[in-house]
Each structure stands twice: as structure tokens, then as C-alpha cells.
Chain A
Amino acid sequence: MSDQKIVKSNSQDVQKEMITRNYDKITSGKVKVSSTFVPGNLNELLMCFDIANNLPEINAIQNAMRKKSGEMIMEAERSGHSEDVCTYVKADIGMMAKGNIAPNGKPFPDPDLLLLSYTGCFTFLKWFELLREQYKCPTVMLHVPYAADGHVTQNMRDYIVKQLKEEVIPTLEKISGIKFDIDRLREYLRKSAIAEDDLVWMLESAKHKPSPIDCYFGGVYYMGPIFTAFRGTDECIEYYKLLREEIQERIDKGLCAQTPEGDMAEEKYRLVVEGPPNWTSFRDFWQMFYEAGAVVVASSYTKVGGVYDYDSFRHDPANPLETLADYCLGVYTNRNLPTRVDMLARNIIEYEADGLLINSIKSCNSFSAGQLVMMREVEKLTGKPGAFIETDLVDPRYFSAANVKNRLESYFQMIDQKRRAGGSAIAA
């Protein structure tokens, strides 16, 4: 890892401050807290009841980036959890065993509610059953059917709306003591849609050559506010407005993507990446890309909390519960493999990328199962080469820097060869 000072933009500082503020709110002891998941999270609905949103995946990520998750995972394994299962779950359970300390150094309160938004990931269901064993707190399930045929049916939408009306909202009312106000929800949804427009603008800015952003490593920062606790707020709107201005300035200046070491000098390779990043060696992983002049122009991970740029979804205040249903149904991992292939192939074509890189995550079958077939399908559709690396989310034992670097170098060579043979044009 480089000792160089980390270069950050103003928006990154704002984003960090927002995430920190949410942790301060959660640990203040002054608000009700619901644990819930990133994909299909119902932030606008929780805000209607003044309930703070605590996301265990984000906690695991925070611990991984602070190099704490490895010991937490082993703690969970010592208490009987299998080596084979999701390391987000084990990092969470291990964190509890080690005092349940939030990234701000204060203890997490026991949640008042587990809102089990069962969207796009089977493990979520077991995860909150396991947490319920510890916290013994109310748990409410929102089952989101899988969009197996590539489209949403009225039956799926009705099922979710009914669950919201008959299970989720009554539970939130009971926990909070606040009566549900649908107009309050509409107002939050209206604000969500404004921020979502700017989010999509940000994603699509990577079509520029050179791309002003990295939409994977940088993208995880950019998507932070909207996929966590801020969608539906004025500060979220302000954040994406600020981000848009920053990116526009970069476009105007013709700058390459920003990295922790400053602006990339040259954009040699434009990639689309499928799968979450590795968090335990996030900086080292990123460095392998930007040192080679590779920028990620689109990634499926920036759709994990909601897909806005594929079929133009925006939260719709005119149909508040139905729009929450559509949002949950549309998250990336809730879409079938042919749809995911189509999204990735379109990204490669529309963003003029050199190919698809898959970072296959040991912990995450929702993403990983089927990725080898997806890669071949995307190659067939685009004629661009694919490559496959394997890491894990938050378990440092499954990040082999040398192997990943070797694979990446080989991949970049493959792209060069393709170019020499008359394939992709050199980026920018």
C-alpha cells in the first residue's frame, strides 16, 4: 500500500461525514433503530416513523476496511458457524461477540426491530433469524419474489404491497408509536427521485472519454448516501448535486478518473465489472487497476441497492407503496441471469468498454453462482474478452494479491492483443 497522502474530493468528505453522522444517530440512544439490508431497503418508509436505519453489510464493510473483520469472522467460526458461509454474516456475529462496537467507537444499541427485506439474497433470511436469536427483538419479513422471467408481474407487486400494508407498516407503527402518514412518504419519495436523477447522471458520466470517474472503486463512495440512510432527504439531494458539479468540472477539464493518489494520468483500459469488491484490501485492489491505467466505467455493484439506469426506474410519489415494491423487485441480484447478462453487455457497448471483468465473491452465491456462464454469454454478445478473478467480501484469508494481480495483468495483455488484432480501439 502506498504511503502517499490520500487524495479526496469535497464530495467524498461530505459522504464520509454523512455516514459518520448516521452512526452517531444510531448510537445516540435517542432514536429507535431498525437493522435492515441495503438491497431493497425501505429508507423512506423508516423515516416516516423516525426510525434510524442500521445496515449490517455496511458495518461489515467498515470493519473490513479497518482490518477488523478477519478476527470477527474467526470468532463466529469458533462459535460454530461454518467456514463455508457468508462472511458478512460471520463478521456481524463476530462483531456482536466482541462488544458490538460501531465504527464511531460507541456501542451499537440492540435494534428495536429487524426489518428483513428478503430481496435478491437468500442469506438475508438466515442472517436475521440468527440475529433474532441474539436480540430477541421484533422481526418483520418483507418477502420480495424473484423476477425470474425478467419482468415484474402484478402478482409480485400486489404481494409486496399487501405485506407492506398488513405486516411492515403496522409493525413500524407499533415500534415507533407514530401513525403512518402516506403524504409524508410521498414527500420523501419525491426527494428520492430528484437524487436518483443525479445518481444516473453520475453513472452515465463514465461514457465520456476519458471517464471522469471510476464507477466501481469510486462508485462505492458515490452510491453511499443513496443506498444507505439518506435516500429521500434534502441532504441526499444536495450531495448528488455537489457530486454532479464536481464531475462536470472534471469533464470540462478533460480529467481522467480520480484515485486515492490523484487523477489517473492516462486511461488505457475501460472495463465493466461484475460483482462486489473485496473490502479487506480495497485500496490495494484499486491500485492494481489505476496503476495499469484501467478505469471501471460501469459495474453491477453500483446497482446492488437499486437499478436506476437500465429501465428508468425512479421512486414515484404518486404510487408510494407500489413504487417501493417495484424498487425492491428491481435490485440487481433480484433479476434473472439473462437480464443481468443484457445489462452488462449493454454497459460494455454503451460505455465503449474493452471487456468484462468478474470479481467472483466466495461469500456471495447470489452474485457468484452462474457468473462463469454469464461471462461467456457477455463475450458472445459483445465480442469483447472477459476475465475472472476470485476474492471475498470481508474475509482477508481469501484475498491473494499476487494471484489477482497476475490475472489482471494477463487480462490487460489480452485486451492489448485484441486491439492489435483489430478489436477494441485504445481508450481516449
Chain B
Amino acid sequence: MSTKTVKDIVANCQEIFEDLDFRRAREWKAAVPGRKVIGYMPVYVPREIVHAAGMLPLGILGGGADMEVIHGDAYYQSYICRIPRSTIELAITGKLDFVDGMMFPSICDVIRNLSGIWQLLFKDKYVRYFDAPQNFKDEVGGVFYANELRELKEGLEQLGGRKITDADINNSIDLYNENRRWVNRVYDFRSDYPWKAPSAEVYLLMRAGMVLPVEEHTRLMQEYLAAADAESRPVKDNCRVVLTGAFCEQPPLNLIKSLEMAGCYIVDDDFMMVNRWLQRDVPATGDPIDNLVKAFLHHSAETPAKYEDDINVKGAYLLNTIAKRGADGVIFAAPSFCDPALLDQPMLISRVEARKIPYITMQYAENSGQMQPIREQAGTFADSIKLWGAA
């Protein structure tokens, strides 16, 4: 095992995170002539199929806190969230010029319509609106989804100029299973020893997985876990919280740091659901499309973008996460103007209120700068849990 330190690993991840030119992805593409890069927006796309096509799936999560949006504001009204305008800014300033195609999952109307903007502005690029089923029966939503995946596969075959075999996809499924297992190990480790794996570090580690090839990201997580485990860090008297609502537009890194500084260990979150969306290993033998479909229908996580057919199950994912992580409370952190998160929030709040689980709500944009109010709110929340939580 590597002897890299936590500091080295986190510095590497931070560099990838801050690099809005996506140098690492550009280098990957340039290394072998003919390689293609496919960008994807949150929350979930089957990266296995992109990988099986010999392409690099590249997570695009907006421009972050430091990018100045100059052109993007001319594309979006003030009442629309920030991620589409900073994503457009990335594209029209040439930062995504090496990206051969973009996938837009069916998460909300803004991301859906962003696919149309791509069709209008970047006519030479492959654009795929990725429509996942809201019916979860094998013979109904499953058949639809299988055909959508086949269409995706055919589109990528055309773009890449080569067939994607079942063996290719099964090999990719295997690699992503491995990656997901390590993602879950990192999350488990953070939950068990939150002082050893601060959330800002875990966040950067996961963000690196949006850019790096899957095999490399898996190695990075292995190295991080070994290094973090070996390192001695002081235990803080923080409360344990689950953060939810941040599944699309990402909070500034400073917000995550501020929450922990204010006394809240984030023991679970929904920042980048793509790497934990499937809750079990996908079988890596047999018909890979069928296996990916079944995993999506029957073993995927819950987000507000997914219809929950059973009112009694609504919110169960959050409640189970709270229980599994032994969390003291919940932070509902939603981007401003995020329809899915903000419309879902009252329903989730009713579930946690019914169980007398403490919570707070906050809104952010990816470029929110003022952290003092966040620190004060989170600090008060942590204090109230510590002082009166056991009463």
C-alpha cells in the first residue's frame, strides 16, 4: 500500500476540484488518439455504459464558488438556480471544448431544458437527455428503461465508432462495483471516525471521482483510507448530522467546512449520489442491460427527483440513513430555487418531526460567500443537540 499522507492525497484532490479546465480529463483524452469524454450532470447516469464504450465519464457539477459567471447570467433569469448558468459559462468559455458529449439526467425542468440549450448552441456535440423511469415495475418501467439504455449504448457506439459488447459492459460493471464498495467504505469510515475523515476531505475525494478514471479513483480512496486510518487526529465534541438536499448544485466547500467547524460532523450526505446511487453490487455476468435495469428499479437510492409510489415509504431512505449513521439531527441544505429539494423538503421534515429528530434548514448557492450566518446557525443547532439532546 502507498505511503502517501492524507495531506498529499487531499492536496491532489483539491487541485482536481479547483481545476475548471479539467486538465486531468484532457490529459486522459490526449493520451490515446480517438478517446472521447462524456460529461454528465447530477444525479445519476449509468457510467458503466460510457466506460464500456472506452470513454471517460466526466461529472459536471457547475462552476463552483470561485468561478466568475460573466456570460451565463445572460442565459438565465435571476430566479433560476446557479448550476445551469455556471455550466453554460464553462461551455461558452471553452472549458468544456474537449467534451464530446453531454448527458442530462431527468432531475428537474432546468437540467432538462439545459439539454435543449446544448442542442441549440453546441450542434456538433452528442447530447443525451437521460430519461429514467418513474414506474418501477420490471415489465413497465423496466422495459422502457432497458430500451433507453440500449439507445444510449447505440448512440455511444456511433460516437465512438465501435461496438460495445456485453463483456465490455460487464467488465465496467465490475469496476464500478469495486468503486462503489470503496465509496461506501469511505462513508462508513467517516461515520465511524468522523474526526479522522473530515467531510471537506471526503467531499474532495468524491469530487475527484467525477474527473478521474474509475480505476484511479478507486486506488485514491484506498490510499486515503489507509492514510486517514493511520493518522492521529483530535476527537471533537461535535454532534452527528445527516446533510440532505444538496444532490445537484453543490454547496461551496467553505460551507461544508463551516458546518464541521461549527460543531456538526456530517456523517452522511447526498452530495454526489451518482457514486452511491445503486445500493448493491450489480451482477457482472449475464445480460448487463438487464442487470443495470434491475439495480435501478429495485436497489437505488431515493432523491426528490424520483417518484415514491408508497406514501408509507416516503422519506424512508433519509430515516434509514439517520438510523444507520446514528445521527443526532438533520441539516436540510438546499440550493436556492431548487424545485426538487425545496418541494420535497416539507414532506421529509414531517417525517423527521414525527420522530422528534432535530433539524435545521438552510439555502445556499454554489457561490455563497457569507459563512458567518451558516456557522452561527449550525453552531446553535449543535449546541442545542449537545445541551438538550439527551433530555
Contact = CB atoms under 8 A, between A and B. Distances in A.
Interface string B131-170: 1011101011101100110010000000000000000000
Interface residues of A, number: 55
Contact of A123 (B79, B113, B135, B339): B339
B190 to A, nearest CB: 29
B112 A122 contact: yes
Interface in A65-87: 79-82, 84-86
A368 B307 CA distance: 23
A178 B119 CA distance: 46
Residue from the set B106, B307, B347 with the largest chain A CB neighbour count within 10 Å: B307
Given A167-B135, A372-B77, A338 B119 contact: yes
B352 interface: no
Contacts of A163: 135, 140
Contact of B135 (A126, A141, A149, A155): A141
B284 interface: no
A365 B342 contact: no
Contacts of B76: 369, 372
B163 to A, nearest CB: 21
Interface string A109-121: 0000000101001
Given A143-B133, A143-B141, A369-B76, A155 B147 contact: yes
B5 interface: no
B311 interface: yes
A425 B334 CA distance: 50
A159 B350 contact: no
B126 to A, nearest CB: 12
Interface string A311-349: 000000000000000000000000011101100000000
B65 interface: no
B344 A366 contact: no
A13 interface: no
Contact of B134 (A141, A338, A372): A141
Contact of A159 (B113, B129, B143): B143
Contacts of A369: 76, 80, 84, 109-110, 112-114
A133 B343 contact: no
Interface string A156-179: 101100110011000000000000
A129 B308 contact: yes
B82 to A, nearest CB: 12
Contacts of B139: 162, 166
Given A155-B151, A341-B120, A369-B114, A146 B106 contact: yes
Contacts of A148: 112, 115-116, 128-129, 131
Contacts of B307: 116, 118, 125, 129, 141, 143
A283 interface: no
Interface in A122-149: 122-123, 125-127, 129-130, 132-133, 136, 139, 141, 143, 145-146, 148-149
A360 interface: yes
B101 interface: no
B106 A365 contact: no
B316 interface: no
Interface string B335-351: 01111101111110110
A377 interface: yes
A123 B343 contact: yes
B174 to A, nearest CB: 28
Given A129-B308, A362-B79, A166 B137 contact: yes
Interface residues of B, number: 58
B299 to A, nearest CB: 20
Interface string B58-87: 000000000000000011110110001000
A153 B338 CA distance: 30
B124 interface: no
Contact of B340 (A122, A162, A338): A122
Contacts of A366: 109, 113
Contacts of B339: 84-86, 122-123, 126, 365
A83 B117 CA distance: 27
Interface centre among B107, B114, B120, B141 (most CB of A within 10 A): B120
B116 A336 contact: yes
A153 to B, nearest CB: 8
A297 interface: no
Interface string B172-183: 000000000000
A105 interface: no
Given A85-B343, A369-B113, A159 B133 contact: yes
B27 interface: no
Contact of B131 (A141, A146, A340, A373): A146
A84 B77 contact: no
B347 A129 contact: yes
A24 interface: no
**For the complex of A and B, 6 pairs with smallest distance between CB atoms:** A337-B116, A148-B129, A126-B343, A159-B144, A143-B134, A369-B113
Given A127-B343, A139-B309, 18 more contacts: A82-B334, A130-B346, A143-B307, A148-B115, A148-B129, A148-B131, A159-B141, A162-B144, A163-B140, A337-B120, A338-B116, A338-B120, A341-B120, A365-B109, A369-B84, A370-B116, A370-B117, A373-B117
Interface of A: 79-82, 84-86, 89, 116, 118, 121-123, 125-127, 129-130, 132-133, 136, 139, 141, 143, 145-146, 148-149, 153, 155-156, 158-159, 162-163, 166-167, 336-338, 340-341, 360, 362, 365-366, 368-374, 377, 390
10 contacts: A82-B342, A82-B345, A84-B336, A84-B363, A86-B343, A133-B311, A139-B311, A148-B129, A159-B144, A167-B135
